[in-house]
């Protein structure tokens, strides 16, 4: 069966450290992968997109890697701040004619002062 897995346990880290979140998938051939941030009671906000032929993408303190052999994406936040505390969702866009965006359930990040 097709699955997207994100760690359901919250990630607690100290301010200033690098947070690393994982997205694993099985039985998909994604054209690209996206990361979204979701605050409690709010809609997801798009952060970064990485395509199947890209290994790494950066935006300010954010970095995403994509390994289609391991079927895994890593999402890094460097110099983390309490304001980075939120749930982070990964989403896959499948290749071919199937247009659906498939979301993971997200991992909650808590950055402590």
Partner 1 sequence: DAMVIQNPRYQVTQFGKPVTLSCSQTLNHNVMYWYQQKSSQAPKLLFHYYDKDFNNEADTPDNFQSRRPNTSFCFLDIRSPGLGDAAMYLCATSRDIKETQYFGPGTRLLVL
User: Applying CB under 8 A, which residues contact partner 1?
Assistant: 4, 8, 31, 34, 36, 41-46, 49, 89, 93, 99-106
CB 77 to partner 1: min, Å = 20
**CB hemisphere CA count around 64 (13 angstroms):** 23
Measured from the CB atom, the residue of 10 and 79 that comes closer to partner 1 is 10
CB 58 to partner 1: min, Å = 17
What does DSSP say about strands 72-77 and 101-103: parallel, antiparallel, or unpaired? unpaired
Contacts of 98 (CB under 8 A, 6+ apart): none
CB 81 to partner 1: min, Å = 23
CB 84 to partner 1: min, Å = 19
Burial of 65 (0-12, 13-18, 19+ CB in 10 A): middle
Measured from the CB atom, the residue of 19 and 89 that comes closer to partner 1 is 89
């Amino acid at each position: 069966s097709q699955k997207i897995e994100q760690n359901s346990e919250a990630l607690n880290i100290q301010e200033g450290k690098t947070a690393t979140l994982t997205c694993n998938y099985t039985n998909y051939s994604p054209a690209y992968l996206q990361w979204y941030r979701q605050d409690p009671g709010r809609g997801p906000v798009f952060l970064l997109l990485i395509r199947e032929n890209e290994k790494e993408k950066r935006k300010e303190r954010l970095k995403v890697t994509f390994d289609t052999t391991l079927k895994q994406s890593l999402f890094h936040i460097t110099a983390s701040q309490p304001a980075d505390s939120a749930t982070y969702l990964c989403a896959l866009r499948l290749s071919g004619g199937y247009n659906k965006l498939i979301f993971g359930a997200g991992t909650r990040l808590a950055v402590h002062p």
